[in-house]
A and B are shown apart, each in its own frame.
Chain A
Amino acid sequence: MANADWKTYKPLLLPNIKNLHEIDVYEKNGGYKALRTVLENKDSKWTKENVTNEVKSAGLRGRGGAGFNTGLKWSFMPKPDGGPRYIAANGDESEPGTFKDRQIFEYNPHLFIEGALIAAYAMSITSVYVYIRGEYNSWIQKLQKAVDDAYKKGYIGKNVLGSGMDIDLYVHKGAGAYICGEESSLMESLEGKRAYPRIKPPFPAQRGIWGRPTTINNIETLSNVPLIINNGASWYSSMGAEKHPGPVLYGLSGHINKPGVYEFTTGMLITDLLNEVAGGMRNGKKLKALVPGGSSTPILRADQIDGVRMDAESLRQVGSMMGTAGMLFLDEDTDIVDFLWRITHFYHHESCGQCTPCREGTGWLEKLLLKIKNGEGEIRDLDILLDLCTQMEGRTVCALADAAAWPVRYTITRFREEFESRCKNTIFATA
């Protein structure tokens, strides 16, 4: 097992070094070495193409939810034409159950900045915008302080470390809209508009912010880049799950003894995370269900998690997804109907309203679940809900409709008896 030795794992993204958020401490601990290395480009080892290829062959996959190969994404950027090109770093972090990127802003902001700058070098980009959800005001200030310090030391700004490259990095504060975590919506928001997702294609690499080539990466994803440069792709890809390697921040929450953000490699057994890392369920209760990667990832019943690992492939086999690795554990007393209703309320509230199936569909999901929760539901409502999901999935500009439909589809399918027991008997019930 690639990660059988997780008990001795030493965090790399959030290492246990006091005051690492301070630039001097970061530098003393090898910080900005990777950036220096690539900018120096000794013996042409670190050409822009080589940096991208190294990240690609390391197998780093996006940590924001979709899990796409990061280096491959970078390679989609067209050749520079002299006009502006952008990175938009996605720190919107608003998928319920997710609270990992804020730890990077708080404990290791320079690692992220360094990763973003290396990405900027690799893609010939001169402006990086970091989009952070408005609620994270405290963490925005922390990152801004780190950015200011990095400017002062010449890591950002004109002629970075004497390389001749100019790179600017701006922190952009959101204002409370889940949809801004969707990459095309994030770009609209950056442009100062209502955050309505865009139709793809064109993809951001072709036409991104202000119509120019743009790459959007998650904060945690970019924070992995200096590790890859310093230690090499094969070192990186040997960590954790073969097809989804590297360190990852697991956000554990819910009815467990020791919630919090933990760093291990990918491919951790869910049972290890629950029983050993999180100290088991609170008050000696039994596990009822787990949502493994944020609210939109399909829920798993307690009897589905044995032997399942936290990586894209292992979770797919059991009918779920890695998402953001924001794991919510629910105990046996959880009212699953009430729980699902609250999720539908969230998506109804956060639907941007652009596409009819989502704007109307999320509302109907919520209404029907409220009806069932209040004991007014009928068994046929469950099938109407599933039918609604089918009418929403894949029929909208962005994936919010899918994200809203999946929890409904899988929670009803995997806990059908509990939903039925809350419904009134109807003439359809005995059919």
Chain B
Amino acid sequence: MEIAFDKNDLNEIEKIKAKYPTNMAAVMAVLWYAQEKFGHLETEAQNLVAHSLDLPEAHVYGVASFYTQYFKKKKGKYVFDVCTCFSCQVCGGYDILHYLEEKLGIKAGETTEDGLFSIEEAECLGACGYAPVMQITNDIYVNHLTRDKVDKVIDGLREGKMPEFESIPLPQHQTEEN
């Protein structure tokens, strides 16, 4: 597939470049931009980023391959990053991971045949008090996971409904009303 940045994209890239004193510094943001547009960053997309910033292709590949959130291969439309690290480990993160694997019939690192779901085992997502937690496609966090909650999320996503951002009130804000 031939991929390209259109005029609007190039404008957006100019705006990103304006935030930094060098083109190189814009590479992470432009990789994010390209991933939003193309869904993932195979070599072709990485090269496109390199050309748009006048950087060596190898440099952009080096950066893209260093950071886990850039999808170097095509993944499912919805990627479940299930945290199994530290607090999530001891609060049932693996149960959730294994339940998802069983439910979708794939292992962590794989994608369902219909291309809808991928599962990844994630390192600490920074939501330790709300464990177990997963993140959907680098975006929304789903907290306090149970099997029920996983079922509901999957049913919703099959209908194209992304869960909404859940603001968890601070415990000290709950006890004293203002």
Contact = CB atoms under 8 A, between A and B. Distances in A.
B54 to A, nearest CB: 12
Interface stretch (A42-50, A173-181, A367-375, A396-404): A173-181
Contacts of B168: 260
B170 to A, nearest CB: 6
A343 to B, nearest CB: 7
Given A14-B172, A170-B19, A334-B90, A342 B126 contact: no
Contacts of A172: 28-29
Given A98-B128, A138-B139, A190 B25 contact: yes
A137 interface: yes
Contacts of A334: 90
B128 A175 contact: no
A237 interface: no
A193 B59 CA distance: 8
Contacts of A162: none
A176 B68 contact: yes
A252 B125 CA distance: 15
Contacts of B128: 96-99, 251, 253-254, 259, 326, 328
A16 B29 CA distance: 35
B171 A262 contact: yes
Interface in B135-178: 135, 138-141, 165, 167-168, 170-173, 176, 178
A251 B129 contact: yes
Contacts of B130: 99, 259
A272 to B, nearest CB: 14
Interface stretch (B1-9, B81-89, B109-117): B81-89
Contacts of A189: 28
A253 B32 contact: no
A275 to B, nearest CB: 15
Contact of B91 (A99, A137, A254, A343): A254
Interface string B14-29: 0000011111111111
Contact of B126 (A84, A98, A173): A98
Interface in B90-130: 90-91, 123-130
Contact of A191 (B19, B22, B135): B22
B63 A194 contact: yes
A348 to B, nearest CB: 10
A192 B167 contact: no
A91 to B, nearest CB: 10
Q: State which size class the interface on A falls in.
A: 35 or more
Nearest to A279: B171
A177 B66 contact: yes
Contact of A342 (B63, B84, B170): B84
B170 A103 contact: yes
Interface string A252-272: 111100111111000000000
Nearest to B63: A194
A87 B85 CA distance: 31
Contacts of B21: 84, 210
A342 B123 CA distance: 10
Interface centre among B27, B87, B130 (most CB of A within 10 A): B87
A97 B124 contact: yes
A182 interface: no
A346 interface: yes
A16 B127 contact: no
A261 B129 contact: yes
A175 B68 contact: yes
B27 A192 contact: yes
Contact of B170 (A107, A253, A254): A107
B66 A194 contact: yes
B70 interface: yes
Given A189-B28, A260-B129, 7 more contacts: A96-B86, A99-B127, A133-B126, A137-B138, A172-B28, A258-B171, A346-B86
8 contacts: A16-B178, A94-B123, A97-B124, A191-B25, A192-B24, A192-B28, A254-B91, A262-B172
